[in-house]
Structure 1
Amino acid sequence: MEKEILPPEVGSLIADLWAQGMRLVHMVVTPGWRQNQILIILGLMVLAWLLRLLTASWVQDWTRARDGWPKWRLRMMVQLRRRLALIYFAFGIWVVYGVMQQVTWPSRSYIIGIVATLVTAWLVIAMLSRLVQNRTLRRILTWTLWIYATLYALELVDDVERFLDTLAVQVGTLRLSVLTAVKALLLLSALLVAARLGTQATSRSLTGNDDISPSMRVLVIKAVQVLLYGLAALIGIRALGFDLSGLALLSGAIGVGIGFGLQKVVSNLVSGIIILLDRSIKPGDVISLGDTFGWIDSLGARYVSVVTRDGREYLIPNEDLITSQVVNWSHTNKFVRLDLKFGTSYGDDPHEVRKVAIEAAKNVARVLTHPTPPVCHIVGFGDSSVDYVLRFWITDPSDGLTNIRGNVFLALWDAFKANGISIPFPQREVRVLGDAPLAAAEREAV
């Protein structure tokens, strides 16, 4: 007795597909209403393509003129413009299908109805798939839904499901089939998209809430993100047929692994939670850590992003912000005092120097004149000059410290020059002693 080469389900599916293909060929070559429907569909395709050529440039110009529209709406218009031919075809074929359903027998528009359903499904899937940002995941989801919509329109879903269910792997009590894997993948993709949309909605709602501090906003957003993505992963694993109760056996091994191999990672995670809870730093704060001076751009689970004035972005581990000395220039308030040291000649009146220095600092932008105006004090008598310190306050350290210091120094230079105040520099007199008289006598003898 000869063994069958293919399982009965596979042979049945191939036979059905072959029958559908032969039926389609028969409809094309045989005159009648089936052939007429195919000709109508081809004519609508040509008409949709011509309409796209006529209106594509107008739609593009109209979209560019929408200056006040949000970005998501403009992106949607771009996607619609790329699919103008498909939209025109879908609209036209539904109109033709509706008219033919009213004026003739329903069987004479059966093929048109199938094609209309397929085109509409393809269009909806193409638009909704743009919600998935990951390109690979978007392609997998798009092709899977397109195939399912095609099989549904051709009434082949049950046959294909039976065939995919036969392609299975048995591991102990777990039976994993291709059908189960496809369903789990689709479910996981949908849950991931829903989790991302939920996280974005939470972020938008919290961003405009002034009653919540920036650090608490980040903490709530991170908590919602972990919760939603964690639920999506658990549901996806459960959809594959895995028993989640068995994961409890791995908790001890995971704990040992965390204790030895992931100390730094866990330390940074815990430090990040502490930073968010105690609100010691928050997005927008200006900090100094060692040689790094910049403002907090974002708070991550493992690191903090600090952007400096020269455009460099430093990713500082959260643990360093907990264990090291951090200067937060805007922790309780944004008032920052800066000191400038300079010296003038002993021949200049110190009272006049202080007055001129204070007035020069007041005329510089960003320097506060109220409630803490600039002050100037004598701090010592040096070898070549009288030493002063000029102290002034600003409220925008994120705009830079070096530039405001430079502007105040330039203001001092101009003010001193206008008022005849000199800035001395060290001078030295060199006298040659010892053999100098003997050398002079020898030159006179010659």
Structure 2
Amino acid sequence: MLLAAPPPLPQVPAATSPPPVLLAPRPPRAQRKNSTLCASPFRPHVRAPERFRSWSSAYSVLRDARNAGVLPQGARDTRFSTILSSVEPKTLATYSAGLLRFHEYCDEQNVPESDRMPASDFLLSSFVAHYAGKVSRSCVENWTAGLQLWHNLHDAPWHGARALCAVSKAVAKKVPPTSVRPRRPPVTVEHIRCLRRHLDLSNTCDAAVYAAAVFAFRGCCRLGEVVTPLRAPFDPSRQVSRASPVTFGRNPEGVSYTSIRLPWTKTAGVRGAEVVLTSSADDICPVLALRQHFSVNYDVPEDAPLFAWTAEPGSWKPMTRELLLSRCTEIWAANGLDKVQGHSFRIGGATDLLLRGVPPAVVAMQGRWSSRAFLQYWRNVEVILPTFIARARAGVTMESLGAAVNRMEVELV
């Protein structure tokens, strides 16, 4: 860390918030009561993310035997693991639902094992058509991606083509109302101010909670880039640590800022990204929040997570997603504010910047969006649009408007 360690404080109040509980690995769940999946030696009962490692087929067994004449077991295992690691664990659990539904459908229709891999375009499109009007298009896309991954793992050709594409488009037109989730509400400035009023910033845990919340809000960050998952060990190659480069500085105009390097992000992967937090004159300044956290939690070691907090003298605890949301929800509920989810910090941060008149291209840069995908995060659109329209200058020509749009497109590439 580039920041010099602050001097030790005479006394640091003990944290009153309960420490996160590290739970033991859970055993496989019992099979769903309404599942129609038939027992098969190719599909043992395992937890969802393990299906890709454990489930096979008649084709894959024969294919692996043939490939054994080309490469030894170790090389084949390396290939398998490398392909599997291309998908994030959370996404893998989502994809595995498609694998389950596909085989349930094949069991119901008495599809032979030999036809399930490689699956024909006819079978794949029939499977998707079965769920038309029952699930959303994104659900079908995830299921299809899971099936394609399963084929890739077992060196099976993928035959999904024109029929599958046509049926997938039809599914999008028949999305049932029950599958359309309401838009997640954003964290608002009032949510953050409420935390500022009711958290004890001299308390080690509360100071870390507030700093992490302001960091995620002002930095338009995903919580997974800021705090530690409850059931996974801290990984400094994936989560930001106290040893990550942190710079406090001022720009030529005298504006204070903090720059922090994230080692990994969802979109950039191991390339990471730089988060720049600008000081604010209001009561939710991210620079001050970070300084307070570093001051109160001064004895947390460099190899700990960035928002780790002192649980008791000589020991620390990671700031987990569950602890952060639990503490925030407790305060918000007591003060009549809406309950929000983790991704709502990113949504709310982008919305707040837009409401303050920050150009959309700058908002996209702050949130590290590389495409127009950030536009889906707009909330309070009925307030945002009049704000920008009211500021529009008279006499804008079509040529200047076109040039502005072209600039934005270039910035978002």
Larger radius of gyration between Structure 1 and Structure 2: 1
TM-score range, shorter chain: under 0.3
Q: Which has the higher contact order (CA 8 A, sep 6+)?
A: 2
The structure with the greater share of residues assigned to helix is: 1
Provide TM-score, normalisation by structure 2.
0.22
TM superposition score normalised by structure 1: 0.21
